[in-house]
Amino acid sequence: MDLHDSWLLAARSFPFLTGTFSDMSSALSIRQLTKTYGNGFQALSGIDLDVAEGDFFALLGPNGAGKSTTIGIISTLVNKTSGTVNIFGHDLDREPAALKRCIGVVPQEFNFNQFEKTFDIVVTQAGYYGIPAKIAKERAEQYLTQLGLWDKRDVPSRSLSGGMKRRLMIARALIHEPRLLILDEPTAGVDIELRRSMWTFLTELNKKGITIILTTHYLE
């Protein structure tokens, strides 16, 4: 069963940014992926999906279509019921640690310590990947600057606007320099101007070779 048959949603790639599927190796390969919750609800039924390395790929569909569940499984945050997930040659079941190092995840909900300083949130994340403190601080400055948050580096994250918090999560997800960036509704709750600037930032990341997979309702 393919993506359209099982979800009744569209999956859209943007090959004009970095190339086409035909001239790239696979970043993500999903085969016969299913997810059934404890109450018997089947969120996914036999999903097959391939995303090429260097692609910018969007999953589109209404609430309940299975987008966030799929993202959660790829991100190792949700357990699948059956099927296979392979990211850059690493199998989810056999090499979960290696797979996790390849991906950066930006969830839909804010999941950081609201009382921790913005800079510290990003640096702390680097520690989970064994990144030396000096390098972590340099990268934190780099990404916070690029995302327009450097002047907020010493303030508690709870004082940030919703759009700033979204950008903070992107900086945190990039700190270990993943090959694949996964974002679940990254523009939810942000205004049009900020949404467009975020698309610009993600496009520039993609041009540098980072594969991007996201869910969104917005295409402009």
> pLDDT confidence of 61, banded at 50, 70, 90?
confident
Give the pLDDT confidence score for residue 64 in this predicted structure: 75
pTM: 0.85
Question: Which residues does 93 contact at the CB level (< 8 Å), separation at least 6?
Answer: 84
The predicted structure's pLDDT at residue 104: 96
Q: Is the confidence at residue 172, as pLDDT, over 70? A: yes
Q: Is residue 169 part of a domain?
A: yes
What pLDDT is stored for residue 220 in this prediction? 53
Residue 54 lies in a domain: yes
Question: Has residue 73 been placed in a domain?
Answer: yes
Q: Output the pLDDT for position 117.
A: 97
φ and ψ of 130, to 5 deg: 70, 25
In a domain, 220, yes or no: no
Query: How far apart (Å, rounded) are the C-alpha atoms in residues 185 and 107?
Result: 8
Q: What is the pLDDT of residue 199?
A: 86
174-214: pLDDT as tens digits: 999 999 999 998 877 777 888 888 888 999 999 999 999 99
**Measured between alpha carbons, how far is 18 from 169 in angstroms, rounded to an integer?**
24
Helix (H, G, I), strand (E, B) or coil at 15: coil
Instruction: Give me 104's structure tokens.
Output: 């950066």
Name, in order, each residue with C-beta under 8 angstroms of 148's C-beta and a sequence gap of 6 or more: 167, 197
* Structural domain that includes position 183: 3-215
Angle value at C-alpha 124, between 119 and 125, nearest 5 degrees: 105
Residue 123 neighbours by CB under 8 Å, 6+ apart: 133, 136, 137, 140, 175
Among 27-41, 53-67, 159-173, the range scoring the smallest mean pLDDT is 53-67
Q: For the chain, how many structural domains are there in total?
A: 1
CB 85 within 8 A of CB 30: yes
Q: Are 177 and 151 in contact (CB under 8 A)?
A: no
pLDDT, tens digit (0-9, with 9 covering 90-100), for 76-115: 989 999 999 999 999 999 999 999 999 999 998 888 988 9
pLDDT value of residue 217: 64
CATH of residue 133: 3.40.50.300
Q: For the residues 123-140, what does the mean pLDDT come to?
A: 96
pLDDT in the model for residue 192: 81
Give the pLDDT score at 99.
Answer: 95
- For 2-37, the pLDDT digits (tens) are 443 333 333 444 433 333 333 458 999 999 999 999
